[in-house]
Amino acid sequence: MTTTRAAVLRSFDQGFSLEEITLADLRPDEVLVEIAGVGMCHTDLILRDPAMAAALAPVVLGHEGSGIVTAVGAAVSGVRTGDHVVLSFASCGTCRECLLGAPAYCEEFTVRNVSGGYPDGSTGATDSAGGPVRNRWFGQSSFARHAVASERDVVVVDPELPLELLGPLGCGMQTGAGAVLNEMRLAPGQSIAVFGAGAVGLAAVMAAKLAGARDIVVVDLLESRLDVAKELGATRIVRGGDGDITAEVAGMDFSFETTAVEKVIGDAIAVLGRRGKAVLAGVGPGLLTVPPSKLAGRTVTYVLEGSAVPKVFIPRLIGFWRDGRFPFDRLIRTYPLAGIDAAEADSLSGATIKPVLLP
């Protein structure tokens, strides 16, 4: 067992509580990781929904961790103590989708990633009073000094890299870039409209630029984020709001929607050309409501984790970064773990695009 410090969420309407928790002994396929840095993703904040918090709390969130392996389970063979790793989402490895090379669509994705526990319902941590704490959020729960993950879900990286900054590659950056490169397979000369200039949307912008898109339109409410989008490769920027977006954007080959706002989802479909494809990624209550005739020739899908295989795609993104073509680190602002509430507030206000906590 390992005792560590973690940011525990106990209620939807309270701040995170820094507590000592005890992690159970490693299962045979697991590794213990000392966290160097962990990104805060908007998916972590869905626990501000009262029903979600009531179902899962107390829970350690965080699913964009990176760090150093300090112990390995008895059956682990591909990861060693001392390895630098990026943690990504959890998958079973044995279902049809995993065997077909699509772990993001694992048949057990929901229970392994958003239940906060193991598939059998158990947890792997206790608090100082001996009560259970969910520590399997996206298979890692990395808002902590130490996290436990399956060998299958970690990616070994070069120890010369800035490890504390790499965690967002495991989810947000992977989702945005993967939507463009894996799901859309955007080709040189094609066009894309990106709705939402947060970390996921801006990852899509960078990916579209390196893929050779001729027109990259970014729609957002915040001028500051539109400015960043222009710096990262947007060819046009549009201030969002209540107006008719189609008056300024139309005939796109692809659109990418990250907000989960119902009107914006509709706009993402409306701006498509007659054979265009809309890829949705926003997490929220917004519904897809569209007359069937509006889909004539068009395709609409929802992407998980950029349709990526992390052990293949994360090294690819690192290669793009090393070449100067995927400067994701420009979006990052770091905070100590004790500053997690400030990081959350800055993320929600838009003051910080990608907070990264340094435990």
pTM of the model: 0.96
Please compute the mean of the pLDDT values over residues 274-303 and round it to a whole number: 93
Q: Tell me what pLDDT residue 243 has.
A: 80
Q: Which residues contact 327 (CB under 8 A, 6 or more apart)?
A: 206, 232, 321
Q: What is the CATH number of domain 2-170+327-358?
A: 3.90.180.10
Residue written as tokens 């400030």? 342
Average pLDDT score over the chain:
97
Q: Tell me what pLDDT residue 1 has.
A: 84
Per-residue pLDDT tens digits for 40-81: 999 999 999 999 999 999 999 999 999 999 999 999 999 999
Strand ranges in the chain using DSSP code E only, listed in sequence order: 2-9, 17-23, 30-39, 59-60, 65-72, 84-87, 125-126, 132-133, 146-150, 154-157, 191-195, 215-220, 236-239, 252-257, 272-280, 299-302, 332-336, 354-358
CA–CA separation, 352 and 13 (whole Å)? 21
Superfamily of domain 173-305: NAD(P)-binding Rossmann-like Domain (3.40.50.720)
Residue written as tokens 């998958």? 91
Residue ranges of domains in the chain = 2-170+327-358, 173-305
User: Residues in the chain, how many?
Assistant: 359
CA–CA separation, 262 and 285 (whole Å)? 8
Per-residue pLDDT tens digits for 200-252: 999 999 999 999 999 999 999 999 999 999 999 999 999 998 788 988 999 99
Q: Tell me what pLDDT residue 285 has.
A: 84
Per-residue pLDDT tens digits for 91-105: 999 999 999 999 999
Kindly indicate the confidence band of residue 30, based on its pLDDT and cuts at 50, 70 and 90.
very high
Q: Mind giving me the DSSP string for 69-129?
A: EEEE-TT--S--TT-EEEE-----SSSHHHHTT-GGG-TTHHHHHSSSS-TTS--SEE-TT
Tell me whether strands 2-9 and 17-23 are parallel, antiparallel or unpaired.
antiparallel
Per-residue pLDDT tens digits for 99-157: 999 999 999 999 999 999 999 999 999 999 999 999 999 999 999 999 999 999 999 99
| Residue 304 phi, psi dihedral angles, 5° rounding | -110, 130
Measured N-to-C along each axis, helices 223-232 and 199-211 cross at an angle, to the nearest 10 degrees, of: 30
